[in-house]
């Protein structure tokens, strides 16, 4: 959170009193409870400003993570489009090759036609098997990439949340200690 005019006004309001207290203390005078409370108030304002700076850093880290995730998502979409294009091209090529092969087989003798038909069935099975294997591998690679991205984001979020919790805990502990005095 950014520092506001109200924060500056509050610090300016107690600045003269702080100067008085400093002069009083440096002159060897005893501090009153009101003086101590004023000094603690200034300390709290400074601490709050420090926490605001740390909060800005955490927000910046989260925004950077979101940007990185968006960038990875764009890369994934690009890869998906490329794979779709490659599959369409492969399908078109296979369709063309099969049509050409069919014309050639029509002109051949009956026994040659039977042999080529058997070879083509075997080739289709192999292509189907290879396509299924490739599809399974791509699906597995995509799932692994998603898991790595999620783990990286979760790790960064956990780290940032832990830092935020520690800072808030320290602030609350300090506030409780100050309240006891």
pLDDT for residue 115: 82
Cβ burial of 21 (10 Å; 0-12, 13-18, 19+) is buried
pLDDT for residue 91: 93
pLDDT digits (tens, 9 = 90+) for 131-160: 999 999 999 999 999 999 999 999 999 999
Residues 6+ apart with CB under 8 A from 83: 138
Spans of the chain below 70 pLDDT? 1-8, 104-105, 107-110, 113
Residues 6+ apart with CB under 8 A from 164: 55, 58
Q: pTM of the predicted model, to two decimals?
A: 0.39
Q: Nearest to residue 67, comparing CAs of 2, 156, 140?
A: 156
In this structure, the number of other CB atoms found within 10 A of the CB of residue 45 comes to: 15
pLDDT for residue 102: 78
The beta-strand segments (E) located in the chain are none
Domain segments of the chain as ranges: 5-180
């Amino acid at each position: 959170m950014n520092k506001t005019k109200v924060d500056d006004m509050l610090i300016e309001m107690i600045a003269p009193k702080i100067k008085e207290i400093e002069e009083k203390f440096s002159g060897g005078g005893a501090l009153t409870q009101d003086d101590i409370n004023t000094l603690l108030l200034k300390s709290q304002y400074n601490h709050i400003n420090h926490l605001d700076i740390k909060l800005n850093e955490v927000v910046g880290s989260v925004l950077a993570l979101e940007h990185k995730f968006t960038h990875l998502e764009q890369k994934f979409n690009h890869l998906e489009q490329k794979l779709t294009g490659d599959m369409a091209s492969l399908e078109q090529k296979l369709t063309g090759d099969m049509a050409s092969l069919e014309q050639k087989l029509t002109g051949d003798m009956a026994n040659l036609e039977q042999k080529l038909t058997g070879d083509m069935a075997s080739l289709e099975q192999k292509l189907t098997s290879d396509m299924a294997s490739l599809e399974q591998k791509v699906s597995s690679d995509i799932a692994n990439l998603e898991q790595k991205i999620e783990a990286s984001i979760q790790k960064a979020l956990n780290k940032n949340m832990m830092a935020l919790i520690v800072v808030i805990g320290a602030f609350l502990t300090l506030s409780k200690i100050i309240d006891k005095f």
